[in-house]
Amino acid sequence: MRLEGLLEKHKRVIVNKWFDAVVHTYPADTARFLKSQKDPFANPVGRTTFKGLDGAYDQLCGEMETEMLAASLDPIIRIRAIQDFTPTQAAGFVFLLKNIIRETVGDQLREKEGLEELMALDARVDTVGLLAFDIFMRCREKVYQLKANETRNRVFSAFHRAGLVADTPEDGPETNKTIE
């Protein structure tokens, strides 16, 4: 059987293993909760992660439309971007898929053509990983921008209360003038 058919046939098993592998990148207590809590309202991180992995897997095995792939990865990466993950940890879950696929269908791909298909799939997974990293960097940039804006606004507010700055009607808090 060709790799494409094997990936479709074993989709549920592969996506479930991938989810388990991603969950195990969290601390033990969190991982246990993410795996055991099936209520999407009580466990939005687990539900979001599973849905995103499922969508990313479909894209990886299909047309790999960048926008659709990014839409599947974005919610997972956003969550990981605000947590204490390094860039490698945040986007590295994508590469876990390579070993999961090999463990699940590798023994059925002993012929040369199957191994060539597997190498092509590896390249696709690498592309997905790079996209995940790009998304992570955009999210982290936004987090840092929000923190900088919050700090700036807090300092402005303190200066304003101290009478060190004044607003003119045409100026907003972004373009305040200092009182001399």
Residue 147 located in a structural domain: no
The pLDDT value recorded for residue 172 is 52
Look at residue 157 and tell me if it is in a domain. no
- The parent domain of residue 39 ranges over 3-140
Q: For position 162, what pLDDT does the model report?
A: 86
Q: Is residue 151 part of a domain?
A: no
What per-residue confidence (pLDDT) applies to 44?
93
- Asked, for residue 164, whether it belongs to a domain, the answer is no
> How many domains is the chain partitioned into structurally?
1
Q: Looking at the domain assignment, is residue 162 inside a domain?
A: no
Question: In this predicted structure, what is the pLDDT of residue 103?
Answer: 93
155 in a domain, yes or no?
Answer: no
User: In the prediction, which pLDDT does 179 show?
Assistant: 47
Name the CA radius of gyration of the chain, rounded.
Answer: 23
Predicted local distance difference test score (pLDDT) of residue 161 = 86
Answer whether residue 124 is part of any domain: yes
Q: From the first residue on, what is the mean pLDDT of each consecutive set of 10 residues in the chain (180 residues)?
A: 88 97 94 89 93 96 94 96 91 96 85 82 96 95 90 89 71 50
In a domain, 35, yes or no: yes
Q: What's the confidence (pLDDT) of residue 180?
A: 45
